[in-house]
Amino acid sequence: MNPTTHFAFADFARVIENLENTFRNETDRYLLLTGQTGVGKTMLCRQLHTTLDRCRYRVLYFSHARHLSATGLIRVLAGCLRLPTRRSHSETLQTLVHSLREQPHQLLIWFDEAHELADETLLEARSLAESDLADNCPVRILLIGMPVLRDRLQSIAALWRRIVVREELTGLTFDELTPFIEHHFGAEKVQLICQEGMRILFERARGIPGLVVPMFRKILADSEPNTPINPLTLDDILQRWELA
């Protein structure tokens, strides 16, 4: 049992490998990562960040993209590159674009909660990613969000058709549920639940790791210690937990 380390389920490993390969080939300006809350998108970004060559890439991560306006984006980027803001937004943008061309690093801008970004901010990010006529790609954009982000982007046709890399993080399979719980809680706790109980837990959590952990913790808390848990009791515990 080692709850402090991440359990790399198959879908997680697939997506992170695909994104790593995409960053290495340096041809795609836009990347998309979607998935339900709790499926592991933020953890995946953390691990992805550790694998990137810091001599080649600089990552700028926005964790609350919904608060970011187009003007705010340019000001933040200018600040990160230690550039003075000009009298007008367009002047600051031009200064930023010129500086990006001269940077030794490729700038990777990652927007979390991107489904809540304003259209103007998305389009401003696009203007940065496509700012170099020489096609040197000084900026690359990773959009991270809920599945509804795909619908939002599809409504912006000029941007959507440019996003070739589109990854969906779906979560655990049923076969991965038992080793996942064992990883977090230990083998003894796993044995308290039969296959039918595991099936109920999986269906309630929809395979989302961020739901499995608190649900299993609640099951243990509301059950007799070290006693096999009846599937009907387990289902009742989870139903009450969801309604609380």
Q: Which domains does the chain have, with CATH numbers?
A: 10-168 (3.40.50.300), 174-243 (1.10.8)
> What mean pLDDT value characterizes the chain?
90
Mean pLDDT of 36-65: 90
For 132, the token pair is 């170099």
pLDDT in tens, 55-72: 888 899 988 777 788 888
Question: What pLDDT does residue 148 have?
Answer: 96
pLDDT for 132 equals 67
pLDDT for residue 11: 96
Looking at residue 4, its pLDDT comes to 54
pLDDT at 135: 59
For the residues 207-232, what does the mean pLDDT come to? 96
pLDDT(184) > 70: yes
* Closest CA relative to residue 30, chosen from 152, 169, 143: 143
CA dist., res. 158 & res. 146, Å (int): 21
Provide the greatest CA pair distance for the chain: 70
Please write the tens of the pLDDT for every residue from 117-146: 988 998 888 888 887 655 566 889 999 999
Q: How confident is the model at residue 166 (pLDDT cuts 50, 70, 90)?
A: very high
Q: Can you tell me the distance from the alpha carbon of 42 to that of 145, in angstroms, rounded to the nearest whole number? A: 10
Residue 112, both tokens: 């979390």
Assess contact for 169 and 12: CB atoms under 8 A.
yes
Per-residue DSSP letter, 90 = H
169: helix, coil or strand? coil
Residue range 71-115, pLDDT digits in tens:
888 888 888 888 888 888 888 888 888 888 888 888 899 999 999
The yes-or-no verdict on residue 215 having pLDDT over 90 is yes
Give the model's pLDDT for residue 181: 96
Contact 213, 184 (CB under 8 A): yes
At 104, which amino acid appears? P
Tell me: pLDDT of 210 over 90.
yes
Structure tokens belonging to residue 214: 């608190």
Report the chain's terminal Cα–Cα distance, integer Å. Answer: 29
